[in-house]
Amino acid sequence: MCGRFAKYASSAERAAMRAEDWRSIREEWRPKPGRERADADGRLSRDRFNIGPAQPIETIRHNPETDELLVDPLQWGIVPRWTKDLKQARKPINARSETVRTSGMFKDCFARRRCLVPMDAYYEWSGEKPPKQPWAIGRRDGHEFLVGAIWDGWKTPDGAILRTIALITTEPNESLARIHDRMPVIVQHDDVETWIGGDADAAAGLMVSAPDFYLRAWAVGRGVGDVRNDGPELLAPINLPAGPDE
């Protein structure tokens, strides 16, 4: 399960990374000017170190009406478009790679509405009994990474569209299996176009565990367990007497 993450690289740094790493994407697929920050209140533009379910998260998705690649906020916890009662809806935050193509809740989204979520780190908890130990997990080179996801749009009673999202998880690689039994599907930058705009079979082939050398994990304090806490100190490493190593 991936239920908490951080995204703190500045917009300028992200733009530089994308200009370099997304060089294989056709020009018309690049985010259009002015769409990098769709939110008016700054919830996405500021650094965020403890993003949790039900919050808006920056999402890279294709708009089929305009053939435009958008970067805009979607609410974390997917609500299928056929949902009748929003209050009673499950709103899952994750979808399993093994069943996302066959699940009645997810299969249409995977076929038609795949998207990506930029992250700088995500959190997992190890241990069978509380208090569990939180870990931060990020790229070894410190750059952001892209997590595969699906989205849907639910029409509210007043006709507005609520767009929501679920992250896709898969089996962990060997090094992360000591921390948790799932990890997010990480899509490499060269595969962005395939994931967002390719056919479902090609995209399904990308739902694999990231290699051991790609990510590192470090123990962090338990303050991250409270979603109201939000600051760079949440990512500060702590020393443990024993436990999974990096």
Residue with tokens 């056709």: 26
Q: What architecture does CATH give domain 5-235?
A: Alpha-Beta Complex (3.90)
pLDDT score recorded for residue 31: 42
If you average pLDDT over residues 106-122, what whole number do you get? Answer: 96
If you average pLDDT over residues 106-131, what whole number do you get? Answer: 94
pLDDT score recorded for residue 82: 87
Q: Which two tokens stand for residue 222?
A: 């338990």
Instruction: Please work out, in degrees rounded to the nearest 5, the angle formed at the alpha carbon of residue 90 by the alpha carbons of 64 and 128.
Output: 115
Q: Which two tokens stand for residue 13?
A: 């740094």
If you average pLDDT over residues 17-33, what whole number do you get? Answer: 44
Helices of type H across the chain:
11-21, 107-112, 192-197, 200-204
Number of other residues whose CB lies within 10 A of the CB of residue 119: 25
88/158 Cα distance (integer angstroms): 18
Q: pTM of the predicted model, to two decimals? A: 0.86
What are the strands, taking DSSP E only, across the chain? 5-7, 48-51, 56-63, 68-76, 94-96, 114-119, 121-126, 133-139, 145-155, 161-170, 183-184, 186-187, 215-219
pLDDT tens sequence across 40-96 = 344 556 799 999 999 999 999 988 777 778 888 999 999 998 888 888 888 999 999
pLDDT tens sequence across 163-172 = 999 999 999 9
Chain-centre distance for alpha carbon 42? 19
Structural domain boundaries in the chain: 5-235
Number of other residues whose CB lies within 10 A of the CB of residue 158: 5
Amino acid (1-letter code) at residue 218: W
If you average pLDDT over residues 108-132, what whole number do you get? Answer: 94
Instruction: Please work out, in degrees rounded to the nearest 5, the angle formed at the alpha carbon of residue 80 by the alpha carbons of 96 and 160.
Output: 140
pLDDT tens sequence across 188-242 = 988 998 999 889 999 999 999 999 999 999 999 999 999 999 999 999 999 987 6
120/200 Cα distance (integer angstroms): 27
